[in-house]
Amino acid sequence: MNEVFSSPIIKARQLTRIYRLGQVEIAAVDHIDLDILPGQMVVLKGNSGSGKSTLLSLLGGLDQPTEGELHVAGRDLRKASPAEITHYRRSSVGIIFQSFNLLPTLTVLENTCLPALLAGKPSPQVKARALDLLDWLKLTARLQHPPSHLSGGEMQRTAIARALINDPAIILADEPTGNLDSRNGEIVMELLWELNNKLGRTVIIATHSTLADRYAGLSLFLKDGVIAEYS
Ligand SMILES: Nc1ncnc2c1ncn2[C@@H]1O[C@H](COP(=O)(O)OP(=O)(O)OP(=O)(O)O)[C@@H](O)[C@H]1O
Ligand SMILES: [Mg+2]
Protein backbone atom coordinates (compact mmCIF):
# COMPACT_ATOMS: atom_id res chain seq x y z
CA MET A 1 0.00 0.00 0.00
CA ASN A 2 1.50 3.35 -0.91
CA GLU A 3 1.64 6.45 1.26
CA VAL A 4 -1.39 8.16 -0.30
CA PHE A 5 -3.69 5.21 0.28
CA SER A 6 -2.44 4.43 3.76
CA SER A 7 -3.12 7.89 5.15
CA PRO A 8 -6.48 8.19 6.93
CA ILE A 9 -9.48 9.55 5.07
CA ILE A 10 -10.97 10.48 8.45
CA LYS A 11 -8.80 11.77 11.24
CA ALA A 12 -10.34 13.01 14.49
CA ARG A 13 -8.37 14.29 17.47
CA GLN A 14 -10.02 15.00 20.81
CA LEU A 15 -13.25 15.41 18.86
CA THR A 16 -15.98 16.67 21.18
CA ARG A 17 -19.60 17.71 20.87
CA ILE A 18 -21.22 19.06 23.98
CA TYR A 19 -24.94 19.78 24.10
CA ARG A 20 -25.94 22.43 26.61
CA LEU A 21 -29.46 22.28 27.99
CA GLY A 22 -29.75 25.06 30.57
CA GLN A 23 -27.20 24.27 33.29
CA VAL A 24 -26.75 20.70 32.10
CA GLU A 25 -23.97 19.74 29.72
CA ILE A 26 -23.97 16.45 27.86
CA ALA A 27 -20.76 15.35 26.16
CA ALA A 28 -22.41 13.36 23.36
CA VAL A 29 -18.97 12.86 21.77
CA ASP A 30 -16.22 13.14 24.33
CA HIS A 31 -12.60 13.70 23.20
CA ILE A 32 -12.54 10.96 20.58
CA ASP A 33 -9.35 10.13 18.66
CA LEU A 34 -10.05 8.17 15.51
CA ASP A 35 -8.29 7.26 12.26
CA ILE A 36 -10.23 5.60 9.47
CA LEU A 37 -8.43 4.45 6.34
CA PRO A 38 -9.85 4.78 2.83
CA GLY A 39 -11.89 1.71 1.98
CA GLN A 40 -12.52 0.62 5.56
CA MET A 41 -15.91 -0.77 6.57
CA VAL A 42 -16.64 0.49 10.07
CA VAL A 43 -19.54 -0.48 12.31
CA LEU A 44 -20.43 1.80 15.22
CA LYS A 45 -22.15 0.08 18.10
CA GLY A 46 -23.27 1.24 21.51
CA ASN A 47 -26.37 1.71 23.63
CA SER A 48 -28.99 4.30 22.88
CA GLY A 49 -27.57 7.74 23.70
CA SER A 50 -23.93 6.61 23.44
CA GLY A 51 -23.17 9.17 20.71
CA LYS A 52 -23.33 7.21 17.43
CA SER A 53 -25.62 9.63 15.57
CA THR A 54 -23.78 12.64 16.94
CA LEU A 55 -20.46 11.24 15.70
CA LEU A 56 -21.93 10.52 12.25
CA SER A 57 -23.38 14.05 12.10
CA LEU A 58 -19.97 15.53 12.84
CA LEU A 59 -18.32 13.32 10.19
CA GLY A 60 -21.01 14.29 7.68
CA GLY A 61 -20.66 18.03 8.26
CA LEU A 62 -24.25 18.20 9.55
CA ASP A 63 -23.09 19.39 12.97
CA GLN A 64 -20.06 21.28 14.28
CA PRO A 65 -17.69 20.03 17.00
CA THR A 66 -17.45 21.95 20.25
CA GLU A 67 -13.72 21.25 20.32
CA GLY A 68 -11.06 19.08 18.76
CA GLU A 69 -9.84 18.49 15.22
CA LEU A 70 -11.58 16.81 12.34
CA HIS A 71 -10.03 16.21 8.95
CA VAL A 72 -12.08 14.35 6.37
CA ALA A 73 -11.15 13.68 2.74
CA GLY A 74 -8.30 16.18 2.91
CA ARG A 75 -10.46 18.93 4.39
CA ASP A 76 -10.18 20.55 7.81
CA LEU A 77 -13.86 20.64 8.76
CA ARG A 78 -13.28 22.90 11.75
CA LYS A 79 -11.73 25.59 9.60
CA ALA A 80 -14.01 25.19 6.60
CA SER A 81 -16.40 28.01 5.69
CA PRO A 82 -20.15 27.28 5.48
CA ALA A 83 -19.84 27.21 1.66
CA GLU A 84 -16.95 24.73 1.87
CA ILE A 85 -18.96 22.54 4.25
CA THR A 86 -21.93 22.57 1.88
CA HIS A 87 -19.60 21.54 -0.95
CA TYR A 88 -18.08 18.83 1.25
CA ARG A 89 -21.54 17.46 2.10
CA ARG A 90 -22.51 17.32 -1.55
CA SER A 91 -19.32 15.90 -2.97
CA SER A 92 -17.48 13.83 -0.38
CA VAL A 93 -20.14 12.12 1.73
CA GLY A 94 -23.37 10.29 1.08
CA ILE A 95 -25.66 9.94 4.09
CA ILE A 96 -28.37 7.33 4.65
CA PHE A 97 -30.86 7.61 7.51
CA GLN A 98 -33.17 5.19 9.30
CA SER A 99 -36.21 7.22 8.24
CA PHE A 100 -35.05 7.52 4.59
CA ASN A 101 -35.65 11.33 4.46
CA LEU A 102 -36.94 11.27 0.88
CA LEU A 103 -38.82 14.31 -0.40
CA PRO A 104 -42.48 13.24 -0.57
CA THR A 105 -43.45 15.32 -3.60
CA LEU A 106 -40.60 14.09 -5.80
CA THR A 107 -40.44 10.78 -7.67
CA VAL A 108 -37.77 8.13 -7.11
CA LEU A 109 -35.83 9.45 -10.11
CA GLU A 110 -36.15 13.09 -8.99
CA ASN A 111 -35.13 12.29 -5.39
CA THR A 112 -32.07 10.50 -6.73
CA CYS A 113 -31.05 13.32 -9.07
CA LEU A 114 -31.60 16.20 -6.65
CA PRO A 115 -28.19 16.37 -4.89
CA ALA A 116 -26.38 16.34 -8.24
CA LEU A 117 -28.62 19.03 -9.72
CA LEU A 118 -28.06 21.13 -6.56
CA ALA A 119 -24.33 20.64 -7.10
CA GLY A 120 -24.77 22.21 -10.56
CA LYS A 121 -24.11 19.11 -12.64
CA PRO A 122 -25.65 18.93 -16.13
CA SER A 123 -29.06 17.34 -16.14
CA PRO A 124 -28.60 14.71 -18.93
CA GLN A 125 -25.44 13.41 -17.27
CA VAL A 126 -27.15 13.29 -13.86
CA LYS A 127 -30.16 11.47 -15.25
CA ALA A 128 -27.98 8.88 -16.99
CA ARG A 129 -26.08 8.17 -13.76
CA ALA A 130 -29.33 8.03 -11.75
CA LEU A 131 -30.80 5.50 -14.18
CA ASP A 132 -27.69 3.34 -13.87
CA LEU A 133 -27.77 3.46 -10.08
CA LEU A 134 -31.51 2.76 -9.92
CA ASP A 135 -31.06 -0.17 -12.27
CA TRP A 136 -28.35 -1.60 -9.98
CA LEU A 137 -30.71 -1.07 -7.04
CA LYS A 138 -33.57 -2.83 -8.87
CA LEU A 139 -35.77 0.26 -8.95
CA THR A 140 -36.20 0.69 -12.71
CA ALA A 141 -39.89 -0.17 -12.44
CA ARG A 142 -40.38 2.52 -9.78
CA LEU A 143 -38.76 5.58 -11.41
CA GLN A 144 -41.90 7.72 -11.54
CA HIS A 145 -43.34 6.66 -8.18
CA PRO A 146 -43.48 9.00 -5.18
CA PRO A 147 -42.00 7.64 -1.92
CA SER A 148 -45.50 7.04 -0.49
CA HIS A 149 -46.03 4.29 -3.10
CA LEU A 150 -42.85 2.42 -2.19
CA SER A 151 -42.08 -0.34 0.28
CA GLY A 152 -39.58 0.40 3.06
CA GLY A 153 -36.87 -1.53 1.22
CA GLU A 154 -37.53 0.43 -1.97
CA MET A 155 -37.44 3.71 -0.02
CA GLN A 156 -34.08 2.83 1.50
CA ARG A 157 -32.69 1.74 -1.87
CA THR A 158 -33.82 5.10 -3.31
CA ALA A 159 -32.01 6.82 -0.43
CA ILE A 160 -28.90 4.79 -1.28
CA ALA A 161 -29.13 5.91 -4.92
CA ARG A 162 -29.46 9.52 -3.76
CA ALA A 163 -26.46 9.12 -1.43
CA LEU A 164 -24.37 7.81 -4.35
CA ILE A 165 -25.38 10.22 -7.09
CA ASN A 166 -22.41 12.55 -6.50
CA ASP A 167 -19.99 9.62 -6.25
CA PRO A 168 -18.83 10.27 -2.66
CA ALA A 169 -15.77 8.56 -1.19
CA ILE A 170 -17.51 8.12 2.16
CA ILE A 171 -20.93 6.64 2.92
CA LEU A 172 -22.40 7.29 6.38
CA ALA A 173 -25.41 5.21 7.39
CA ASP A 174 -27.35 5.84 10.60
CA GLU A 175 -29.45 2.78 11.50
CA PRO A 176 -30.06 2.06 7.80
CA THR A 177 -31.98 -1.12 8.56
CA GLY A 178 -33.91 0.19 11.58
CA ASN A 179 -37.22 0.52 9.71
CA LEU A 180 -36.84 -2.57 7.54
CA ASP A 181 -37.84 -6.21 7.93
CA SER A 182 -34.97 -8.66 8.21
CA ARG A 183 -34.88 -9.61 4.49
CA ASN A 184 -34.76 -5.98 3.35
CA GLY A 185 -32.28 -5.23 6.13
CA GLU A 186 -30.01 -7.93 4.74
CA ILE A 187 -30.35 -6.55 1.20
CA VAL A 188 -29.40 -3.04 2.34
CA MET A 189 -26.44 -4.36 4.32
CA GLU A 190 -25.25 -6.39 1.30
CA LEU A 191 -25.50 -3.27 -0.88
CA LEU A 192 -23.41 -1.28 1.59
CA TRP A 193 -20.90 -4.09 1.68
CA GLU A 194 -20.75 -4.17 -2.13
CA LEU A 195 -20.07 -0.43 -2.17
CA ASN A 196 -17.22 -1.05 0.21
CA ASN A 197 -15.85 -4.26 -1.19
CA LYS A 198 -16.28 -3.76 -4.93
CA LEU A 199 -16.17 0.02 -5.25
CA GLY A 200 -13.73 0.76 -2.44
CA ARG A 201 -15.93 3.28 -0.63
CA THR A 202 -15.32 4.00 3.01
CA VAL A 203 -18.53 2.96 4.77
CA ILE A 204 -19.48 3.79 8.35
CA ILE A 205 -22.64 2.27 9.75
CA ALA A 206 -24.18 3.08 13.14
CA THR A 207 -26.49 0.27 14.12
CA HIS A 208 -28.00 -1.77 16.94
CA SER A 209 -28.52 -4.64 14.54
CA THR A 210 -26.16 -7.60 14.25
CA LEU A 211 -26.71 -7.68 10.46
CA ALA A 212 -23.59 -5.58 9.85
CA ASP A 213 -21.27 -7.59 12.07
CA ARG A 214 -20.03 -10.03 9.48
CA TYR A 215 -19.05 -7.20 7.11
CA ALA A 216 -17.24 -5.05 9.68
CA GLY A 217 -13.55 -4.47 9.08
CA LEU A 218 -13.49 -2.39 12.24
CA SER A 219 -16.06 -2.31 15.04
CA LEU A 220 -16.18 0.57 17.48
CA PHE A 221 -18.22 0.36 20.64
CA LEU A 222 -19.24 3.76 21.98
CA LYS A 223 -20.10 4.34 25.60
CA ASP A 224 -21.07 7.78 26.91
CA GLY A 225 -19.42 9.51 23.95
CA VAL A 226 -16.14 7.60 24.30
CA ILE A 227 -14.80 4.73 22.20
CA ALA A 228 -14.83 2.00 24.83
CA GLU A 229 -13.76 -0.87 22.59
CA TYR A 230 -12.14 -1.47 19.18
CA SER A 231 -12.29 -4.85 17.49
N1 LIG B 1 -29.99 17.98 19.70
C2 LIG B 1 -29.68 17.52 20.92
N3 LIG B 1 -29.78 18.30 22.01
C4 LIG B 1 -29.42 17.86 23.23
N5 LIG B 1 -28.92 16.63 23.48
C6 LIG B 1 -28.80 15.81 22.44
C7 LIG B 1 -29.16 16.20 21.11
N8 LIG B 1 -28.90 15.16 20.27
C9 LIG B 1 -28.43 14.19 21.05
N10 LIG B 1 -28.36 14.57 22.33
C11 LIG B 1 -27.83 13.75 23.45
O12 LIG B 1 -26.53 13.32 23.11
C13 LIG B 1 -26.32 11.98 23.52
C14 LIG B 1 -25.94 11.12 22.30
O15 LIG B 1 -27.06 11.03 21.44
P16 LIG B 1 -27.00 10.26 20.05
O17 LIG B 1 -28.26 10.58 19.33
O18 LIG B 1 -25.73 10.59 19.37
O19 LIG B 1 -26.97 8.74 20.53
P20 LIG B 1 -27.09 7.39 19.69
O21 LIG B 1 -25.96 6.52 20.10
O22 LIG B 1 -27.22 7.71 18.24
O23 LIG B 1 -28.45 6.77 20.24
P24 LIG B 1 -29.53 5.82 19.48
O25 LIG B 1 -28.92 4.44 19.48
O26 LIG B 1 -30.73 5.91 20.37
O27 LIG B 1 -29.76 6.36 18.12
C28 LIG B 1 -27.61 11.55 24.20
O29 LIG B 1 -27.44 11.72 25.60
C30 LIG B 1 -28.64 12.50 23.67
O31 LIG B 1 -29.68 12.70 24.58
MG1 LIG C 1 -28.73 7.38 16.85
The partner residues of 156 in beta bridges, in order of sequence, read none
pLDDT above 50 (res 169): yes
- The residue to mutate among 53, 62, 97, 220, having the most atoms of ligand 1 within 8 angstroms of its beta carbon, is 53
**Would you state the pLDDT for residue 85?**
94
pLDDT over threshold 90, residue 229: no
Is the CB of 26 within 6 Å of ligand 1?
yes
Ligand 1 atom nearest residue 29's Cα? 14
User: What residues contact residue 77 under an 8 Å CB cut-off, 6+ apart?
Assistant: 58, 61, 65, 70, 71, 85, 88
CA–centroid distance, residue 137 to ligand 1 (Å)? 31
Mean pLDDT of all residues in 53-59: 97
Q: Name which of 149, 176, 60, 159 is nearest 112 in CA terms.
A: 159
Q: What's residue 225's pLDDT?
A: 98
- Say which ligand is closest to the CA of 226: 1
Whether the predicted pLDDT of 181 surpasses 60: yes
Query: Which pLDDT score is estimated for 5?
Result: 53
8 close to ligand 1 (CB < 6 Angstrom): no
> Confidence class of residue 1 from pLDDT cuts 50, 70 and 90?
very low
Closest CA to 32 of 164, 198, 225: 225
pLDDT digits (tens, 9 = 90+) for 192-225: 999 999 999 999 999 999 999 999 999 999 999 9
pLDDT in tens, 4-25: 557 999 999 999 999 999 999 9
Cα dihedral: 26, 32, 38, 41 (round 10): -60
* CA 56 / ligand 1 centre spacing (Å): 11
pLDDT at 129: 96
Tens digit of each residue's pLDDT (9 = 90 or more) over 117-132: 999 999 999 999 999 9
Report whether residue 54 contacts ligand 1, using a CB cutoff of 6 Å: yes
pLDDT at 2 over 70: no
pLDDT of residue 32: 97
How far does residue 48's CA lie from ligand 2's centre (Å)?
7
Q: Is the CB of 46 under 6 A from ligand 1?
A: yes
Domains with residue ranges and CATH for the chain: 1-92+168-231 (3.40.50.300), 102-166 (no CATH)
Q: What percent of the chain shows pLDDT beyond 90? A: 95
Mean local confidence (pLDDT), 138-167: 96
Residue nearest atom 17 of ligand 1, based on CA coordinates: 53
Over residues 95-104, mean pLDDT:
94
The alpha carbon of residue 67 and the mean position of all alpha carbons in its chain are separated, in whole angstroms, by: 22
